Amino acid sequence: MSVAFRLPEELTIYTVAQTRQELLAWLDASQDAQEDNGVRQVQAQAVSDFDGAGLQLLGALANTLAARDQTLVLQEPSEAVRRVCHQLGCTGWFEFQPPGGTP
């Protein structure tokens, strides 16, 4: 089982380029690892500042994983992440763990 990727506190237009590089390195490092049921976990509880650029990055990650027959699970997404996903109608893009809790 691979290690979950931990998102930074700020996932905005100012930080997505760096976070993207870190996500790509994480994907490369665990590409050959055996995943439990094709699930990739991203810890999102620390995110306090989240905007459309952060949402686009997570959407691109979800699409990349779907192409590999894997699922993106956001572990304990913060209120900021849930709020933006809910407001923009993107809650179906990801699996939230635990589920529910939309603002």
* pLDDT single digits (tens) 65-79: 999 888 899 999 999
Task: Give the model's pLDDT for residue 32.
Answer: 59
Residue 39 has which token pair?
A: 């699930």
| Proportion of the chain above pLDDT 70, given as a percent | 87
Question: 3-state SS string over the chain?
Answer: CCCCEECCCEECCCCHHHHHHHHHHHHHHCCCCCCHHHEEEEECCCCCEECHHHHHHHHHHHHHHHHCCCEEEEECCCHHHHHHHHHCCCHHHCEEECCCCCC
Segment 29-47 mean pLDDT = 79
Please tell me the class of the 5-97 domain. alpha beta
Question: What is the distance between the alpha carbons of residues 79 and 19, in angstroms, rounded to a whole number?
Answer: 20
Q: Are 62 and 40 in contact (CB under 8 A)?
A: no
